[in-house]
Amino acid sequence: MIELNDITKTYRMGEVDITVLSGVSLRIQKGELVAIMGPSGSGKSTVMNILGCLDRPTSGSYRFENQEVSALTDDELASIRNVKIGFVFQTFNLLPRFTALKNVEVPLIYSGVPAKLRRERAMPMLQQVGLSERMHHKPTELSGGQQQRVAIARALVNHPPLLLADEPTGNLDSRSGDEILKLLVGLNREGVTIVIVTHDQNVAERCNRTIMVKDGQILSDRVRA
Amino acid sequence: MNFIETFRVAFEALLSNKIRSGLTMLGVIIGVMAVILLVSIGQGAQVYITKEMTGMGTNLLIITPGKTSTRGGFHPPSAGTVRKLTYDDSQALRRRAWLLTDAVPLVFGTGKLKFQNMGRDIMIIGTTPEFQRVRNLFVDTGSYISQGDVDSKSKVIVLGTTVKEELFGAESPLGKVVTLSDARYRVVGVMRKKGTSLGMDVDDIVYIPVTSGQELFDTDSLFEIIASTPRADDVDRAIAQIKDVLIKRHAHKEDFTIQTQGAMLETMNSILGVLTAVLGGIAGISLLVGGIGIMNIMLVSVRERTREIGIRKALGARNMDILAQFMIEAITLSGAGGIIGILLGVGIALLIPMFVTVLPTSVSLWSIMMAFFFSAAVGVFFGVYPARKASLQDPIQALRYE
């Protein structure tokens, strides 16, 4: 499903080029639950951004569902993000002015789904993450765990084959973190491919594959038996 | 992303910041209001002048001594001696230019009018009985100057109502003797009240026979002759007749100028047209300032919502979607400001004449349309830069923005 081949990424900072990734190659099969670990500055977030089509590699090839992504235009990338990839962020990144329901509807707006249908599709997603009673609350009226559930519902509303989670439990207490993790593991069982970037060893242990990144290179890639 | 949805998103964003949106709109509101108000005042003046000038009597021709070209230009002072326009010229016109119903000789100036111990400076017109007819100003009590008065240079005077009230109060002035610049005049009549016309108090004038006036102002010339024709179609032929008569009398030289009322009206209207355009232009500048206000606020808004832009992009918004969202916000601000400005501007323009009678207004559809489209255009113009800035944000940077 995902095939990274010899990906490098360099940023220009003033006069000097900074290499963030050098020669990263990686394959992820459909249905996997993968943790990407590494110290800060290791380049794991950059891997995540490239996987999520938010960023383009400087060189190398990225094939997503057998399509070369690194050559696509901004709008084509936007469309892939909209339909094929769901994002879950450490800081939830909900739109503060909108209710939970409206937040879940946002990806559908950009898919051109009419308003009535959007509601009909967003409501069951919130039910699935156990928030049917808090649909009309704004993010500020929800706990951290609840906000992250809304974010997961939003990530899934277009039924993308890939879910990317960047430190999804990083801002949560251990109990809500655990619940979120359970939710993600459950989704993976239903067939969603999930990639989680994390510092947390506990999170990594729940995944069946752990990729360690350091200094812009893959240090190890272990599949749990 | 469809249009209605984009519009809703923009509208919600504006509503969530009511005070800021309101203040931003205020710039446009004031601009649009100023455009409509000032243009309607300018046009009101035009309508007013047209009405007043046609109210003075129709198809008037004014003959003044000396040749001036209505096309402007430069006339050397040695272009021939200027023969004076005389009382006899006016009599000749009456007799020989048969298209004219009247040819009224006129001298005017100011002098000191005294009655007993009261006195003041006053506008004096020396003329003939026909003046009443050409200028639509009639005597109310007593009688006007008669042809006999003119022929015999009688010292008789007709008072305007303002003058009469100031000097005599409720008393009848008929037969009383007043002093006008050291000569004694007998009051024979009082004019009908007329009010102001083109900013001049028509009731604050006294009338004496044109011959006495020439003596008073120590001149044997006339200041002008007012002629009139019954039909507008005859104006050109009447001008030809006047020229024919006067040129013969003036040693075959055209040393006088004939102005028609229509030409005067045109001149006035073009002056006022320029004035209106200038006023509208000045008001337009304030609309421009309002537009800069919109740009300013939109830039702040784009910065504040950097994270929102990042989130929307991560969720699949294309650059176009973001651009449209912020453009519509800017256009909504300016468009709503424009509509409110139009309502206020039109409202005030309609209210002004009720309270300030000297300031007539006339609201025209084209000024409303222009103000509205201009304000919408301001929104587009000043919205493009911030919206483009928003749409080109890098999603990763935007998501990290605190």
For residue A115, being part of any structural domain is answered with yes
* Residues of A whose CB is below 8 A from B16: 97
Extract the tokens encoding A71. 């050559």
Which of B12, B14, B307, B315 would best serve as a mutation to test chain A binding (most A beta carbons within 10 A)? B315
pLDDT at B353: 85
For residue A218, being part of any structural domain is answered with yes
pLDDT at B29: 94
Q: Given its phi and psi angles, is residue B234 left (phi above 0), alpha (psi -120 to 50 degrees) or beta?
A: alpha
For residues A48-80, one letter each, b for 16 or more C-beta atoms within 10 angstroms of the residue's C-beta and e for the rest, the string is bbbbbbbbebbebebebeeeebbebebeebbbb
E strand spans, B221-313: 224-228, 256-260
**Percent of the residues in chain B that have a pLDDT greater than 70, as a whole number:** 94
User: Does A154 contact chain B (CB < 8 Å)?
Assistant: yes
Mean pLDDT, to the nearest integer, of B258-282? 86
pLDDT at A150 over 90: yes
Segment holding B11, helix H or strand E: helix B3-15
Interface size A-B, in CB pairs within 8 Å, comes to 65
B337 contacts: CB under 8 Å, gap ≥ 6: B24, B25, B26, B27, B28, B29, B31, B32, B290, B375
pLDDT at B70 over 60: no
CA distance A99 to A24: 40
Contact yes or no for A93 and B1 at CB 8 A: no
Helices (H), B152-260: 161-168, 210-216, 235-249
Mean pLDDT, to the nearest integer, of B380-400? 92
Mean pLDDT, to the nearest integer, of B299-312? 93
CA distance A30 to A163: 11
Extract the tokens encoding A143. 């706990």
pLDDT at B58: 60
CATH number at residue A194: 3.40.50.300
The helix/strand count (H/E) of chain A reads as 7, 10
Beta bridge partners of A7: A24
CA angle B17–B18–B23, rounded 5-degree value: 105
Q: Which of B402, B294, B257 is nearest to B22 (CA)?
A: B294
Extract the tokens encoding B40. 């309607």
Assess contact for B104 and B225: CB atoms under 8 A: yes
A positions 62-121 inside 8 Å of B (CB) = 74-75, 78-79, 81-83, 87, 89, 93-95, 97, 106-107, 109-112, 114-115
Give me the number of domains chain A comprises: 1
For chain B, domain boundaries:
3-52+266-400, 83-252
Instruction: Report which residue type is found at B50.
Output: T
Question: Strand, coil or helix: what is A8?
Answer: strand
Helices (H), B305-364: 306-314, 319-355
Torsion B47-B53-B58-B61 (CA) sign: negative
Classify residue A207 by its DSSP letter: S
Separation in Å, CA A53 to CA A44, A77, A168, B329: 14, 6, 19, 28
* Residues of B whose CB is below 8 A from A81: 313-316
Extract the tokens encoding B310. 């990042």
pLDDT at B78 over 50: no
Beta bridge partners of B156: B186
CA distance B126 to A216: 106
User: B102-115 and B156-159 as β-strands: parallel, antiparallel, unpaired?
Assistant: unpaired
pLDDT at B100 over 90: no
Q: Which residue has the higher pLDDT, A189 or B68?
A: A189
CA distance B90 to B94: 6
At A40-76, the pLDDT tens digits run 888 898 999 999 999 999 999 999 999 999 889 999 9
Beta bridge partners of B125: B108, B207
pLDDT at B199 over 80: no
At B223-261, the pLDDT tens digits run 999 998 888 788 888 889 899 899 888 888 888 888 888
Beta bridge partners of B197: B200
A positions 163-222 inside 8 Å of B (CB) = none
By Cβ distance, the residue of B9, B318, B396 closest to A75 is B318
Q: Which domain does A81 fall in, by range? A: 31-42+74-223
At A152-167, the pLDDT tens digits run 999 999 999 999 999 9
For residue A68, being part of any structural domain is answered with no
Other beta carbons less than 10 A from residue B294's beta carbon: 26
Question: Strand, coil or helix: what is B281?
Answer: helix
pLDDT at B294 over 50: yes
pLDDT at A36 over 80: yes
- Is the overall model pTM greater than 0.90, yes or no? no
pLDDT at A120: 94
pLDDT at B233: 80
For residue A176, being part of any structural domain is answered with yes
At B306-337, the pLDDT tens digits run 999 999 999 999 999 999 999 999 999 999 99
At B120-175, the pLDDT tens digits run 899 999 999 999 888 888 888 899 999 999 999 999 999 999 889 888 888 889 99
pLDDT band, very low/low/confident/very high, at A34 (cuts 50, 70, 90): very high
pLDDT at B79 over 70: no
Question: Strand, coil or helix: what is B208?
Answer: strand
Mean pLDDT, to the nearest integer, of A116-131? 93
Q: Which of B324, B307, B331, B330 is nearest to B393 (CA)?
A: B307
